[in-house]
Structure 1
Amino acid sequence: MRNPIFIISGLALAAVGLLACTEPTMPDRTDGAAFFADNCASCHGAGGRGDGVLSGGLQTAPANLTMLSRDNGGSFPAARALSYIYGDPEQAHLARVMPQFGGAMAQDLVPVKIDGVLTPTPRVLAGLLAYLESIQE
């Protein structure tokens, strides 16, 4: 009779091998909506219109994120949005109210087509971009 430890260890190794061979899924608007609810809604509001519970106490009003495409000639400004959310290195952190979301999230990248070019993008921000694009009016 085989030792149960060896059987369990073998099954665990097989599962790890299977997971390592599967391609990670791309984040979608649902993933982005969850990130938005946790990190953005308090200022930008649940619907992204800049009317969050903390918006009244801010020196600069949060942007109405549902109007990004309208304000960009009808096209969603993915590159500009990503740059601003991630944290534009050209802009001093103290000059902005919104926190920068770069740093550690740069370890988990997925390819996102930005202005026709596949661009390594933090997974959570790829989902957030998909969500923001989906709420455009």
Structure 2
Amino acid sequence: MKRAVVVALMVAQACTPQSSDSGRTVYNDKCAVCHGFNGRGDGDLADGLDPRPADLTQIAARRDGVWPMLEVMAIIDGYTKRYLPGSDMPIYDEFLEGDLVTFDTGNGIRQKAPANLLSIARYLETLQDPKPERSVP
């Protein structure tokens, strides 16, 4: 009985909104139709978009191996798009709704962020090819 409780707690923790597993679920639901299930910009709607959706597996590679966590979160949350339009990427307000979670931005500073937004950013980090050499806030 005690072991079952521990396993249940571990599973619940692994699937919290800030985990990359839950980020995959949100990504597949909202982003894959354009960016593709593997993040390469080849989703079902990609051919009809101009510009084409970005290859999300190359974010760190385009930045010399650096994973820019806060920059990625800013693009996903749509904040800059509200004021600087220029792509067909929709703004999903639900990424900003719900629970706030605390995370380390990468420089030792702990911030609160929407759990869904953080989970998508963490999932995108797992898609990087090659894997990032380091992260920056």
Do the two structures share a fold, i.e. TM-score over 0.5?
Answer: yes
TM-score (norm 2): 0.73
Identical-pair percentage? 31
TM value normalised by structure 1: 0.73
Instruction: Please report how far the alpha carbon of residue 112 of structure 1 lies from its aligned counterpart in structure 2 after TM superposition.
Output: 2.0
Q: Is the aligned partner of 1:49 residue 2:40?
A: yes
Q: After TM superposition, which residue ranges in structure 1, 4 or more long, deviate above 3 angstroms?
A: none
Structure 2 unaligned runs (5+)?
A: 1-12, 130-137
Alignment partner of 2:125 out of 118, 130, 133? 133
Q: CA RMSD in A?
A: 2.2
Counterpart of 1:39, as a letter, is K
Aligned equivalents of 2:78, 2:54: Cα separation in 1: 16
Alpha-carbon distance in structure 2 between the residues aligned to 1:52 and 1:90: 21
Q: How many Å apart are 1:109 and its aligned residue?
A: 0.9
In structure 2, how many angstroms separate the alpha carbons of the residues matched to 1:80 and 1:123?
16
Residue identity in the other structure for 1:136: Q
Cα drift, residue 93 of structure 1: 6.4
- The verdict on how the C-alpha distance between 1:102 and 1:30 changes in structure 2, with shifts beyond 3 A counting, is same
The counterpart of 2:105, out of the listed 90, 114, 121, is 114
- Distance in 2 (CA, whole Å) between partners of 1:90 and 1:53 is 23
Find the counterpart in structure 1 of residue 89 from structure 2: 98
Distance in 2, matches of 1:53 and 1:81, equals 23
Aligned residues, how many? 114
Between structure 1 and structure 2, the one with the greater Rg is: 1
**Unpaired stretches in structure 1, ≥5 consecutive residues:** 1-22
